[in-house]
Structure 1
Amino acid sequence: MPKSVLLLWLEGHLQSWGYDSKFGVRETLPFPTKSGVIGLICCALGEKDPQDDFLKELASSTMEVKAYKNKFNDKTEQGLSLIMRDFQTIGTNYDESDPFKNLMIPKKSDGTKPVGSGAVLTYRYAIQNGKFAVFLEYEKDLAQAVYKALQKPRWDLYLGRKSYIPTEFIAQGIFNSKEEASQKLRQLAEIKKLTEDFSVVEGKNCDDCDVLLLNDVPVSFGRRKSYANRYVSIIKKED
């Protein structure tokens, strides 16, 4: 069956693509993760629960990411690895008479409530003003279904966290080849006055670039999430 290439555009004031998040510290990579992008697609389609077989189909595509930065008078500003750290408190203003809300109140190691409000300070990291293109290749029928869902999503779409909303249409086109999708991307970057900063490709693709091992290939969603590993290479765009 013939395949099609999807071009996604992820742009927003804030984005967060977690890879090693703990309860009190929520990290982000400087680019979208595969689990984050596929989770976004599942939101658009209205898919929930583990979805093991469907996730395997979605994760079968290699994913390439291109990061962009603004261009002014043939000079470029600082790259997009601008990470913001936000401080948030949790654990306050819960109704203790509500059994579910009572579970949200942070407890001490012995299970009792702390003296005072019980608020816990958390650290949450986010990318500021990120602009990313994502290439995905699927069989034509699946690509069409994903593309239509992104145009008219069943659930709200967001860039890693529910408060981080996109400021541009995510679905930028469905194409017969990577070359056609790249041509569309060049036009989009020219309109927005952007220049490529770096790209993220799957596998170990070069000797002089950064290679990361990421645990971001979704195997099962739902209450018990599980992920598989993949290597990615970060290739800096030469000026």
Structure 2
Amino acid sequence: MSGLLLRLAGPLQSWGERSVFTPVRDTAPFPTRSALIGMFAAAEGIGRDEADPDHYRDLRLTVRVDRPGLRIVDYHTVGGGFPKDRTAATSGGSNKGAAVITRRHYLSDAVFVVAVTAADETLTRLADALSRPHWAPYLGRRSCVPDEPFLLRRHVDDPEEELRARVPLSRTAPRGKDGNTQETGTITVEFLHEQPPGDANEETAPADVIDVNDMPVSFAQHNRSHTGRRLHRTLLPVPGSLAGSPETLMQRLIDYVRLEESA
């Protein structure tokens, strides 16, 4: 088993947990398993009606929350003032006779780094697809385009250790009185595990439980459904050497990717 690393960052992200369309389109505070599996399937060119959730069941996902982002709400309308046959379609194949009004939640300026652990054969297939995706990846919704760098590393022996010790934090360091970005000492970073970490020290890494409804059962266009799973949140101190100003972070990440590609 080995893994790859993804950096999920962009102006907007939205990771909905609900599997039916409602007036309020929520977002989880971190990338959901169903959304990431949908991203992988799209990169491989697997359509919604062709996707088999069991195809990715052996994936282990660990998320590092570098910046949680600011939650914003968009008042959104579709189809107002048009004849019924030009308004938004329903799941049954007809059309609505009036505007569809929704309130869509987004995370603004959030950054996550995801460790994906899988069997070597699966990992090679995913890395190739994410490097040259069939359909472009997006951060929960098609309007949410990811920043670069996206795929940080293709093959990592211990991707979770890479999150802790090597990959720089995507964060904005506090500014001093002169307006310049200041380096910090020790930063506390949030990790989300599908199982409780075995080496967590309860005094320095308190853990609590999060229940999310993001385990995919069906990706069919008109029959999407998910079940719940349990995550464990862990706060761990990370050395300040992983921190960097926004001005230097991108170059450090690009140099890191280039170094790995040339190795």
**Aligned equivalent of 1:203, options 195, 207, 212:** 195
Asked if 1:158 corresponds to 2:150, the answer is no
Q: What letter corresponds to residue 199 of structure 1 in structure 2?
A: F
Secondary structure of 1:142's aligned partner: helix
**Aligned equivalent of 1:82, options 63, 70, 89:** 70
The gaps in structure 2 that reach 5 residues or longer are 174-186, 239-263
- Within a 5 Å distance, the mapping from 1:210-221 to structure 2 comes to 210-221=208-219
Secondary structure of 2:126's aligned partner: helix
Query: 1:12–1:165: 8 Å Cα contact kept in structure 2?
Result: yes
- More strand by percentage: 1
Alpha-carbon distance in 1 for matches of 2:236, 2:163: 19
Alpha-carbon distance in 1 for matches of 2:96, 2:129: 46
Query: 1:4–1:174: 8 Å Cα contact kept in structure 2?
Result: no
Asked if 1:38 corresponds to 2:37, the answer is yes
Q: CA offsets, 1:123-176, max 9 Å, x none?
A: 110111111111111121211111111111111211001110001232211224
- Within a 5 Å distance, the mapping from 1:35-114 to structure 2 comes to 35-51=34-50, 54-69=52-67, 80-96=68-84, 98=85, 101-102=86-87, 104=89, 113=97
Secondary structure of 1:125's aligned partner: strand
Change (3 A) 1:95 1:185: farther
TM-score calculated relative to the size of structure 1:
0.76
Query: 1:15–1:128: 8 Å Cα contact kept in structure 2?
Result: yes
Deviation at 1:182, TM superposition (A): 3.6
Alpha-carbon distance in 1 for matches of 2:26, 2:114: 21
Deviation at 1:204, TM superposition (A): 5.3
Query: 1:203–1:230: 8 Å Cα contact kept in structure 2?
Result: no
Q: What letter corresponds to residue 70 of structure 2 in structure 1?
A: L
Q: CA offsets, 1:57-94, max 9 Å, x none?
A: 3122221100103xxxxxxxxxx252111111122254
Change (3 A) 1:187 1:95: farther
Q: What letter corresponds to residue 62 of structure 1 in structure 2?
A: R
Change (3 A) 1:185 1:145: farther
Asked if 1:183 corresponds to 2:162, the answer is yes
Q: CA offsets, 1:78-113, max 9 Å, x none?
A: xx25211111112225454x4xx35639xxxxx994
Change (3 A) 1:229 1:112: closer
Q: What letter corresponds to residue 214 of structure 2 in structure 1?
A: D
Identity of aligned residues (%): 27
Q: CA offsets, 1:18-72, max 9 Å, x none?
A: 01364210000110000011111111111014446x4213122221100103xxx
Change (3 A) 1:50 1:210: farther
Q: What letter corresponds to residue 89 of structure 1 in structure 2?
A: T
Alpha-carbon distance in 1 for matches of 2:96, 2:77: 19
1:4 aligned residue: 2
Q: CA offsets, 1:189-223, max 9 Å, x none?
A: 15877756311111356885331222211232123
Deviation at 1:229, TM superposition (A): 2.3
Number of paired residues? 213
How much is the aligned-residue C-alpha RMSD, in angstroms? 2.9
Higher relative contact order (CA 8 A, sep 6+): 1
2:243 aligned residue: none
Q: What letter corresponds to residue 60 of structure 1 in structure 2?
A: D
**Aligned equivalent of 2:116, options 125, 136, 140:** 136
Alpha-carbon distance in 1 for matches of 2:171, 2:232: 26
Alpha-carbon distance in 2 for matches of 1:27, 1:112: 22
